[in-house]
């Protein structure tokens, strides 16, 4: 049976993330983009359906490249509201150590649904907590992703350096290297999909210099090379982390990254704030990507990522919402707005445009995840789309639709398509009972805090 051809016709505005123009809209067939159309140009072949997009701004599906789904359970928790990273982590680790499979499942559903409603179609999650009883955490997340119909790169995180050995996390949250590596290989072989249109992928993600040993970093890099998957970690987020690396390893963060075999195009880093010019040049030459997390970096007062210098050096830049305890939300379109504003503080209004910020949230983020099939609107790419309406009071009087998305604060997509299938219609996730999910999530969050 031939695939249905859908014409998303004459959008109010359309952003391709690759400088192509398509004022007449686009045609979707077989889950991919079959045509981009000029003004007044009809499709080359008959279509089965037409969606009138004259009230919609059409974007490639937004891509979130750093998150911690489980942290939706500890949003806006009073004891950590005013703490910087290291005290924030020390206070939260014992709470997170009580995580159960049931609580992780509901937390992941909430994070994914919130992302989806914000126009996000692909998400990377960094899960590094495997206390007793939660050894199959990534398996739980795979099911949540499939239930919501999104794409995800789930990173098998790890912590192997506990307080007893000079690390930051408590001992009940760390694992032995053999367990980490065996589970990492199991997950890759069981779940990692390759090629265009992949829904679930796996990467390896030792948590940070202050929570894993150099040995697990090296072993993870070797395993990633052997099985051809990506590498992810936190790096250069705070000056405390820099001081820890200097004291423990006698190296700055990028030197440490190089020493354990991570400086290369397979790697993308969360935060990447505190780099000197030489380190920026080395990261760019290696093609190592950086996920900018503006809301989290402001929330914890960590600093501002040097995006422009990193891009100029050759390092891809993407965006991430980070965990919903250091951001307290999982909203990708708002994250693009925060990136626009925070980066203007560093580089000025002329250099940081709405198009540049949206480019980080789409094509740039796709580069970080090693994907060439998503993140832009072009013939042959996956039909992952986010459609926004500008009919609310906040948009009244706005003139440029694309700029209005960020400047006027769009926070919810009207429609979202993944692989040619509508997953959000009229601002609602298809097949999801949101009130029931919220009730279950609130209960789980209260139980987790209460212990």
Phi then psi for residue 200, to 5 deg, are -120, 130
Q: In what order do the strands lie in the sheet with 120-127?
A: 62-64, 120-127, 151-158, 200-206, 231-235, 267-271, 289-292, 317-319
Task: Give the relative orientation of helices 137-148 and 101-117 as an angle to the nearest 10 degrees.
Answer: 40
Give the chain's domains with CATH numbers: 5-60+376-429 (2.30.40.10), 62-368 (3.20.20.140)
Across-strand partners of 289?
A: 268
Per-residue confidence (pLDDT) for residue 2, from 0 to 100: 66
Beta bridge partners of 154: 125, 202
Coil, strand, or helix at residue 381?
coil
For residue 36, the cross-strand partners are: 26
Q: What is the C-alpha separation between 111 and 117, in angstroms, rounded?
A: 10
Task: Give the separation between CA 124 and CA 232, rounded to whole angstroms.
Answer: 10
Helix (H), strand (E) at residue 142: helix 137-148
| Sheet of strand 13-14: strand arrangement | 13-14, 56-60, 385-389, 415-418, 421-425, 428-429
Determine contact, residues 192/202, Cβ cutoff 8 Å: yes
pTM reported for the whole predicted model: 0.98
Q: Which of 406, 268, 267 is nearest to 331 (CA)?
A: 406
Q: Tokens 């100029």 map to which residue?
A: 312
pLDDT at 283: 98
Bridge partners for 158 per DSSP: 206
| Centroid of chain to Cα 274 | 21
Pick out the chain residues at pLDDT < 50: none
Strand order in the sheet with 32-37: 32-37, 25-29, 5-9, 49-52
């Amino acid at each position: 049976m031939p695939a249905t051809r859908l014409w998303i016709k004459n959008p109010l505005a359309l952003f391709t993330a690759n400088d192509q123009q398509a004022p007449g809209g686009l045609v979707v067939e077989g889950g991919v983009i079959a045509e981009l159309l000029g003004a007044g140009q009809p499709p080359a072949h008959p279509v089965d359906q037409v969606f009138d997009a004259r009230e919609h701004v059409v974007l490639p599906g937004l891509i979130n490249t750093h998150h911690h789904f489980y942290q939706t359970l500890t949003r806006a928790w009073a004891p950590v509201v005013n703490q910087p990273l290291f005290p924030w982590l020390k206070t939260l680790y014992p709470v997170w150590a009580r995580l159960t499979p049931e609580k992780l499942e509901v937390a992941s559903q909430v994070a994914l649904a919130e992302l989806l409603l914000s126009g996000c179609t692909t998400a990377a999650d960094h899960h590094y907590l495997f206390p007793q009883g939660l050894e199959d955490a990534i398996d739980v997340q795979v099911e949540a992703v499939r239930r919501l119909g999104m794409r995800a790169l789930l990173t098998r995180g790890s912590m192997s350096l506990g307080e007893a050995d000079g690390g930051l996390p408590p001992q009940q949250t760390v694992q032995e290297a053999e367990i980490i590596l065996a589970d990492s290989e199991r997950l890759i072989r069981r779940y990692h999909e390759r090629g265009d249109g992949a829904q679930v992928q796996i990467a390896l993600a030792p948590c940070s210099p202050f929570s894993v040993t150099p040995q697990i970093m090296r072993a993870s890099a070797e395993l990633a090379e052997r099985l051809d998957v990506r590498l992810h970690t936190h790096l250069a987020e705070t000056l405390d982390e820099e001081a820890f690396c200097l004291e423990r390893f006698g190296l700055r963060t990028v030197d440490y990254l190089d020493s354990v075999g991570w400086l290369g195009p397979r790697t993308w880093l969360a935060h990447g704030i505190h780099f000197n010019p030489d380190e920026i040049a080395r990261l760019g030459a290696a093609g190592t990507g950086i996920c900018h997390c503006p809301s989290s970096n402001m929330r914890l007062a960590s600093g501002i990522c040097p995006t422009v210098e990193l891009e100029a050096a050759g390092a891809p830049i993407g965006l991430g919402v980070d965990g919903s305890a250091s951001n307290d939300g999982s909203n990708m379109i708002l994250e693009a707005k925060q990136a626009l504003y925070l980066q203007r503080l560093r580089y000025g209004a002329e250099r940081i445009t709405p198009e540049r910020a949206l480019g980080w949230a789409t094509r740039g983020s796709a580069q970080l995840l090693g994907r060439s099939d998503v993140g832009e609107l072009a013939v042959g790419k996956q039909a992952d789309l986010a459609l926004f309406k500008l009919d609310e009071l906040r948009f009244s009087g706005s003139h440029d639709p694309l700029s209005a998305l960020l400047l006027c604060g769009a926070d919810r997509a009207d429609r979202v398509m993944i692989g040619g299938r509508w997953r959000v219609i009229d601002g609602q996730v298809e097949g999801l009972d949101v009130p029931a999910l919220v009730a279950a999530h609130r209960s789980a969050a209260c139980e987790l805090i209460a212990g």
